[in-house]
Amino acid sequence: MPLIDKKIIIDSVWSSIIQNSIVEILGEDQAAIVINLKNQNQLSIVDIHNRLEELIGDISVIGAEQRIGEAGFRIFLSKLGEDTGFFASTFKFLPIRQKFVAGLIILAGLYREKMNEDAVVLETAQAYQIRLGGDPVKPGQHYLGCTFVAGFLKEYAAWAGCGKVFLVNEVECRSQGFSHCVYNISKIPLE
């Protein structure tokens, strides 16, 4: 069973976003099992992962977590899009490259604030990159949350890229001894 040093507890707004995302992907009955409604104020990524794994199996859990992350971005937009500046005309009318970077900077700031961890946005010739974290987990342990983040970023990229699909890869992970989880978002959409 996967472990993590610190439990990632999600605040009420993000808890609501994740809960609604789980309901969107799994339906209300299965979502109730995963969310464990009696403890919804202490929603944890570890608990969600473990319950998903029990419900649908370890082979399917990664795909489900990514889909939940994708739904999470759409729900994030409906709940926090206005407050975070994603709907401001100064943001919406930026050229796509600038929009990608500006949006990632906003998301990195939210991550820093909510997770109290490092979040840096970089750009290479081939990809936009976001580096999250700061501390590797102990050897043999697994850092959870990566597939949620990958799905969230994938949906963000599609939204920022006007509906085009962009490849999102986690190229470094804290569970592999790296100091950060690093995600690349390809600059060239899939055709």
- Residue 117 gets the label, from left (phi > 0), alpha (psi -120 to 50) or beta, of beta
Q: Domains in the chain, please, with CATH?
A: 12-186 (3.90.1520.10)
Range with the lowest mean pLDDT among 5-9, 42-46, 145-149?
5-9
pTM (2 d.p.): 0.87
Q: DSSP secondary-structure letter at 42? A: G
Q: DSSP secondary-structure letter at 44? A: B
Instruction: Identify the CA nearest to 72 among candidates 16, 125, 141.
Output: 16
Cα distance between residue 95 and residue 51, in whole Å: 41
User: Tell me: the pLDDT tens digits for 181-191?
Assistant: 999 999 999 97
Backbone angles phi, psi at 119, to 5 degrees: -150, 120
Cα distance between residue 82 and residue 74, in whole Å: 13
Extended strands (E) in the chain? 118-123, 127-133, 168-172, 180-186
User: Tell me: the pLDDT tens digits for 127-173?
Assistant: 999 999 876 666 555 566 888 999 999 999 999 998 999 999 999 98
